[in-house]
Structure 1
Amino acid sequence: MPELMARFPNVRDVAISPDGSEIYFSVSSFRKEFYAIIVIKKDGDEWSEPVVAPFSGQYNDLEPAFSPDGLKLFFASQRPLHDTINEPKDWDIWYVERKSPDAEWSAPINPGAPLNSDGNEFYPSVTNKGDVYFTTTPNENTDKEDIFVSRYSKKGFSRPVALPAEVNTDGYEFNAFIAPDESYLIFSSFGREDDNGGGDLYIAFRGSDGKWQPAQNMGPEINSEQLDYCPFVDGHTQTLYFTSESSNVRKYFDRPQTLEALEDEFYQFENGLSRIYQMPFSVEDYQTKTE
C-alpha cells in the first residue's frame, strides 16, 4: 500500500469493501485546496491502477466509509444539493448505493436533515444497524469538533446526539471509526493532557451496561508528535489503518548535503505529508490495557 499511494501529495482515509476487493481512499493537492476519492480494485492477486471514483472528481469529496453490507458508501462532500447550483456548499454527509457488490454506484444522495445541518458534517462511520457516527462542529461560534451519532430506522435518520464525556471533552474530538457492533470506538483528539501535541488516536470501549468507558490514548507505537487521525479497522484481517503527518525529515545534518541527498530526504515516505499506515490490531490487547 505505501508504494501504491506514494505518488500522491497527500493521502488519507481508507475504506475497504467487506469482501476485500475494493479500496477507496482520499487524495488532495499539496496545500489541500482540493480533495477527491480514489478507488483501486483487486484483479486476481494484483491491484488495479488508481482511478477517480465514478461519483467524485468535480467537487471536494473525502472520507469514504462502507456500510457493513458493502452496498452503500458514505462520504463527506462540499457538492451543491442540486445540479442547477454551481457553488459548493458546507460539508455534508452523502452516500452512493448499489444493488450488489458487482453493480454500479448510484448518483450521490444527500440524506438531508437531521443528519446534515447548516454546519459541517464529516467522517461518517456506519454500524450494523445503519447508525452513523460522524464529526461536527455543534457550536456555530467555534470550530471545536465533537463526535455525534444519528440512529437509523425505517423513518430515516434521527436527530444527532453527542457522545458522552467519556469520549467528547473540552478539547477536539473528530474522525471516529465505530466497530460495526458498537463495541469500541477509535477517534482522534487534540488538547488532552496525555496527547503528544499534534492530535492522537484514542480508543473507548462500551461496557456491559451499554455505557461508554473513558477513552484511552493508543500509545506511542501509533501516535506521533504530529497529527494522527482517520482510523479504520479491517475486521477480516485484524488490521488498523490510520493517517499520519509524522515526519522523519531531519532538522540538521552532521555535514553539508548534496542536492541528491536532500531530494532523497525530502521525498521519503514519512516527510510530513498525509500518509496512510497499517499495523496489526487486536481489540483484546487494548481491552487489557484499559482494565
Structure 2
Amino acid sequence: MSRVFIYVCLLLSLPCWSQKGETANPTLESLTNFTNIRDFTVSTSGLEGYCTIQSPLGELSYIVRVQKTDASGWSNPQLVRFSGQFMDLEPFLSGDGLKLYFASNRPLDSIKSKSKDFDIWYVQRDDLASSWSDPINLGTPVNTKADEFYPSIVANGSLYFTSTRTGTKGKDDIFYSQLQEGEFKTPISLETINTEGYEFNAYVSPKEDFMIFTAYQRKDGMGSGDLYISYRDKNKKWGTSINLGNEINSKAMDYCPFYDFRTHTLYLTSRRSVIENDKKYKSLEAIEKAINAYSNGYSRVYDINFDPENYINRKQKDSL
C-alpha cells in the first residue's frame, strides 16, 4: 500500500470534533489560502523557512519559501525556482543553510516528463544570498525503486529518512545512513524505533541525542498519527519511544516535526479541528467562519514551546 494512497485516505476521513493539543499555536497564517500546509523547516537564524503547499487531495505538492517579518509573523510564500512541475514535499534545510533536502517524484532524466517513485533530492547554493541550484538526486544506496521521504540531516552530515523499501519491519520505517568521506553508506533500519506498523517523518537533533517522529495508530496513541520522542543513550542506542501526549498531540493526524533550538520551538503539522459537530449555527456567516478557521481539519503548521531535556526529566520524576 503506497504512502500517497494512505495520505488520500486520511484526508477523506478528516475529523469533525474538537481536538486536544490546545497549547499548540497556529503558524504560517499567511498561507491559509492554500488547503494544506505542511513540513515546516527553519534556518538557524530563524529568518528563513520552507514548507509544502498541497491541493485538497495532495495531487499537487510544491515547496515554497517564507521570510520572517516580525516577532510573530511570516511573509507571503514564494514558489522556489525548482518546484512547480512534479510533486515536491518535505523540505529540510541544512544547518549552514547551503543545502535544502526534499522528497520528489521527479524523473532522474531532466529530458523525460514522466514522474517516478519518490526519492530524496537536494539543491545547494554558494551563500545565503545566492539562488538554489538545479535539483540533484541523492542516488544509491539511499534511494531505491521504493519510496524515500522526509530527510533529516544531522551535524556530521549523516541522514535519517523514511522508506517503504522491502525487507523491513513494517509499512513505513525510519532509516539511518552514515556519511563517510563524502558518501552515504548503506542505510540501517532503526530497530528500536520501527514496528510492524507505520513509523515515519523523523526529525533528529543535530547532536543525535533525541528524535521526534510520527507513529500511526499505536496502542498508546490518541486515534491517528501521534508524535513520539526517543532519546539516544551513550551507547548510541535509541531508547523506548514516548508519546508526547495531549499537550501536543490530538485525535487527528499529527506529523512532520521540526525543532528550532534557538527559540525552543517545536513545529508540527496537524489536521486537528476546532469545529464542533453538535453546535447549532445561527447564520451562514458563522458556518463560513467555522469552516475557514485555521484549525479546520486540513493540514496546518503549529508551534509550541518545548524543551526535550526538561521533558525527559519531568517524565522520569513522574515515574518515581
> Offset at 1:21?
2.1
Equivalent position to 2:298, from 273, 278, 281: 273
Alignment of 1:48-59 (within 5 A): 48-59=75-86
C-alpha contact (below 8 Å) 2:49/2:67 kept by paired residues: yes
Evaluate the alpha carbon distance shift between residue 66 and residue 141 of structure 1 in structure 2; reply closer, same or farther with a 3 A threshold: closer
Q: Give the CA deviation at 1:186.
A: 0.1
In the aligned structure 1, how far is the partner of 2:297 from the partner of 2:69? 32
SS in structure 1 opposite 2:52?
strand
**Cα distance, 1:15 vs structure 2:** 1.0
What residue identity is the alignment partner of 2:244?
M
Q: What residue number does 1:86 align with? A: 113
User: 5+ residue gaps in structure 1?
Assistant: none
Is the aligned partner of 1:196 residue 2:222?
Answer: yes
The match for 1:5 is 31
Tell me the TM-score normalized by structure 2: 0.86
- The SS at the match of 1:246 is coil
Alignment match of 1:73 (pick from 100, 110, 116): 100
Whether the aligned pair in 2 keeps the contact of 1:200 and 1:217 (CA below 8 Å) is: yes
Amino acid at match of 1:190: Y
AA aligned opposite 1:249: I
Identical-residue share of aligned pairs (%): 43
Partner SS for 1:103: coil
Length, aligned pairs only: 289
Deviation of residue 265 (structure 1)? 1.3
TM-superposed CA distance for 1:132, in Å, is 0.9
Select the structure with the greater relative contact order (CA < 8 A; seq sep ≥ 6). Answer: 2
Structure 2 SS opposite 1:188 = strand
Q: Is the 8 A contact 1:186 1:231 kept in 2?
A: yes
Residues 289, 260 of structure 1: alpha-carbon distance in 2 compared, 3 angstrom cutoff: same
SS in 2 for 1:241: strand
How far residue 3 of structure 1 moved from its aligned partner, in angstroms, is 2.2
Q: Is the 8 A contact 1:64 1:74 kept in 2?
A: yes
Secondary structure of residue in 2 paired with 1:139: coil
Matched, 1:183 2:216: no
CA contact (8 A) 2:170 2:194 kept: no
1:202-253 Cα offsets, whole Å, 9 max, x none, are 0000112221110100010111111000000011111000000011111122
Q: Which residue of 2 aligns with 1:259?
A: 284
Counting only pairs closer than 5 Å after superposition, residues 1-291 of structure 1 correspond to structure 2 as 1-42=27-68, 47-139=74-166, 144-165=171-192, 167-253=193-279, 255=280, 257-291=282-316
- SS of the aligned residue for 1:263 comes to helix
Given that residues 119 and 140 in structure 1 are in contact (C-alpha distance below 8 angstroms), is that contact kept between their aligned partners in structure 2? Answer: no
Q: SS at the partner of 1:15?
A: strand
Structure 2: distance between partners of 1:279 and 1:173:
22
Cα distance in 1 for partners of 2:313, 2:258 equals 21
Q: Which runs of 5+ in 2 are unaligned?
A: 1-26
Distance 1:171 1:10, change over 3 A: same
Distance of 1:244 and 1:256 partners within structure 2: 25
Q: Are 2:31 and 2:76, in contact at CA under 8 Å, matched by a contact in 1?
A: no
